[in-house]
Each structure stands twice: as C-alpha cells, then as structure tokens.
Amino acid sequence: MALLELSGVSKAFDSLVAISDLDLRLSEAEALGIIGPNGAGKTTLFNVITGEVKPNSGEIIFAGRSIAGLDPAERCRLGLGRTYQIPHPFGGMTVYENVLVGATFGDARSEAEGSTIALEVLERTGLIGKANSLAGGLPLLDRKRLELARALATGPRVLLLDEIAGGLTEHEVEDLIRVVKGLRAGGLSIIWIEHVVHALIAVVDRLVAISSGKLLMEGEPKVVMASREVREVYLGISGE
C-alpha cells in the first residue's frame, strides 16, 4: 500500500488549470523526483498535498486515510512536512530557536522534548555550529539548510522539498545531496521538486515529469530524462 496516494486530483484558478486529473503514488522510504517547466503546476501540487490549497476534485490518501478537510497544521502533525522554494526564517531569532519552533509546535511536544529534537536536527543538517547565529544573517546555503531543518523538526514521514538546490553553487549542491541522501538512508520518504536535475538523479528512485498539470512520464530517472517528449517539453531540446 502506498504511503501517499493522489487519485484524479485537479485544481484550477478561475480559467487557469494548474493540475489536471493527476495520479501520484509514493511508497514508504521511497524518494520521488518531480520535474516540469515553469508553470507546470509543481508547487500547486505541494500546496494541495499540504492543505494550503483545496483541490477542485480528487482524493488524497495519507497513511491509509483521507486527509480531505484537514488544515495544514493537522496534516503536518500527521507527518507531512515541507520546505519552500524561498526560505522565510524568523530572521530575528537564532537558528536554534527557529528549529525549536518546528520541533515544539509541529508535533505538539514539550519544550524539553523539542529542544532535544532541535539539536539532533541541527546536527543532521550541518547547522549545529551556527545554532546561536541569527537566522536573518545566514548565507543562502545555510538558509536552505535551515528551511530543511525546520521541516525535519516537525517529525515528518513524508518530506516535500521544493527546489531546495536552487541558487546554490555546485559545491553547495553536492553538500545538499549528501544531507538528503542521509535522510533517505534513515528511511524518510521524500518528494523533491527540482530544476537541478543531476541532484535529483543522484538521490531519487523514480522521476515524474509533468506539464500543464498533467502527467507526462514517470519511471527510472535516466530513462525519463532521455525521453524525447520530456526533453522537448522540459528542456526545449528537439529529440531529432
């Protein structure tokens, strides 16, 4: 049985169709990558999964139950965590305090329990040395790490990563890949939207390509990326 399953999910904003009759499955401990051109509906898909946007139709099943009607906080406490493409930390708080908020309120823990989890997460994401630094002064890589740490602190079963490698240098991307691989090795299920394709290929088991909110192709990452249709739609490269 899939850990997360979307069946026939559609979402339109007035006349703009962002997602159209989309089916998606994620198994326990699987890493799934999602690619598509700008405007393909990728972030809307995450917003629908996390409850920030209500779909017009379709069903979302998480851990064997429908999550229709649950708000984002309730879905987070069930085990759906996410990052955002543009990090928005609490700039006037320290790195540790930012992660403590996620650890404490993301799963209704005591402050003592949250503190233990926050320190563990900071260690896993390579931020323990900057625990007392103000979040607002962090460079981009560390802001991305903090965005990841805050999501991890909520204790997710499924982690949704939204272009977390965007804007990083090649060396920084390699650092990020190592962190995400470590999370995978720990059994965390991941859905990763990313334009840095080689990062996806280094981590995910399966790749899904979408265009105009519809499934274009899914399968083994290198096979998907070699597809003529995917190359034409996503990369703008003719297959001939």
Q: In the chain, what are the domain boundaries?
A: 1-79+159-169+190-240, 86-155
3-state class (DSSP) for residue 205 = coil
Q: Look over the chain and give the mean of its residue pLDDT values, rounded to a whole number.
A: 94
SS3 label, residue 43: helix
How far, CA to CA in Å, does 171 sit from each of 109, 137, 141, 174, 177? 36, 21, 10, 5, 10
**Which of the four pLDDT bands, split at 50, 70 and 90, describes residue 237?**
low
pLDDT confidence of residue 190: 98
Span 196-209, pLDDT tens digits: 999 999 999 999 99
Strand order of the β-sheet with 65-66 is 16-26, 4-13, 57-62, 65-66
- Strands 214-219 and 206-211 come out as antiparallel
Percent of the chain residues past pLDDT 90, beyond the cut? 91
The DSSP annotation for 118-180 comes to HHHHHHHTT-GGGTTSBGGG--HHHHHHHHHHHHHHT--SEEEEESTTTT--HHHHHHHHHHH
Mean pLDDT of 15-22: 96
Per-residue confidence band for 30, with pLDDT thresholds at 50, 70 and 90: very high
Q: What gap in Å lies between CA 233 and CA 210, rounded to an integer? A: 9
Average pLDDT over residues 112-140: 96
Distance CA(155)–CA(153), nearest Å, equals 5
Residue 115 has pLDDT above 60, yes or no: yes
pLDDT at 234 > cutoff 90: no
Q: How far apart are alpha carbons 63 and 127 in whole angstroms?
A: 31
Over range 66-76, report the average pLDDT. 96
Instruction: Give the mean pLDDT of 75-82.
Output: 96
Q: Which CATH class is domain 1-79+159-169+190-240?
A: alpha beta
Distance CA 6, CA 208 (A): 13
